[in-house]
Structure 1
């Protein structure tokens, strides 16, 4: 199984990025069962970060800085929107924000992996 770990990571990174981009598309375009939220400046900023940042993560382009930025976005989102409603994420419905925060922090420290535009453009490491 270990010989496939780099490829599994690349696929997981792409899926995570695509799912995150879908959250952004909900906010920006009101698609995928979401509500368009461009009238709220914070939600507009979140939508832009999620849509374009998620797309870049999916492609594996500028992965480390984008993942770090998105990790911070999710931390801010958690503490602004969820933490006031209780300490535990399972109670305040912030599990997804916490998961994305730590997944993106991991990706920021690990890099894009071999299945990425970072490696194609810059070479080893991503």
Structure 2
């Protein structure tokens, strides 16, 4: 038995097969994804401002202190300042989110994991959470409200004109 392509039928079939009922928030799925993508990118940019400019409390909690530009922290700061805006607007979302997921995995294992196994003990819960958040975004993509989606629609319209 196949699940029909029609959205209303799909909802009924999903309820029959899984027992899942639609929660009212399903209507806001794309807007919520956009909000998650934008806010996580903006939060990452704040970490970059700490590392590169000594703003928002400074690097390593020392006001005005900055990370050496050619260190791992300096390169991370450059990525957070200059690449995270791509995530905010949803341009090249999948590879950018995958890059940040890997960067935060490295940060977790190099900085936090040596202080203990559990993230709550080694103070690495933020790095771990961001790592998996960006991993999810890399799998899910930028969503309907992203430059990637706009470029995809534009590309599809261009291809239809050729037919």
Q: What TM-score do you get using the length of structure 1 for normalisation? A: 0.92
Does the Cα contact within 8 Å between 2:52 and 2:69 map onto a contact in 1? Answer: no
How many residues get paired?
124
In structure 2, what is the equivalent of residue 5 of structure 1? 29
Q: Distance in 2 between matches of 1:49 and 1:40?
A: 12
Helix, strand or coil: the match of 1:49?
Answer: helix
C-alpha spacing 1:21/1:77, structure 2 compared with 1 (3 Å): same
Which of 1 and 2 has higher RCO (CA within 8 Å, sep 6+)?
1
Does the Cα contact within 8 Å between 1:17 and 1:57 map onto a contact in 2? Answer: yes
Unaligned runs of 5+ in 2: 1-24, 60-65, 155-163
Deviation at 1:102, TM superposition (A): 0.2
Deviation at 1:40, TM superposition (A): 5.4
In structure 2, what is the equivalent of residue 56 of structure 1? 86
Q: Indicate whether 1:31 and 2:55 are aligned.
A: yes
- Flag the structure with larger Rg: 2
Q: Distance in 2 between matches of 1:117 and 1:84?
A: 39
Larger deviation: 4-13 or 72-81? 4-13
Encode CA deviations 1:77-104: one digit per residue, 9 max, x unaligned. 0000000000000000000000000000
Helix, strand or coil: the match of 2:83?
Answer: helix
In structure 1, what is the equivalent of residue 9 of structure 2? none
Does the Cα contact within 8 Å between 2:94 and 2:139 map onto a contact in 1? Answer: yes
Deviation at 1:38, TM superposition (A): 2.5
Which of structure 1's runs of 4+ aligned residues deviate more than 3 A?
Answer: none
Q: What TM-score do you get using the length of structure 2 for normalisation? A: 0.72
Q: Distance in 1 between matches of 2:70 and 2:117?
A: 26
Deviation at 1:123, TM superposition (A): 2.8
**Counterpart mapping for 1:74-85 below 5 A:** 74-85=104-115
Larger deviation: 92-101 or 5-14? 5-14
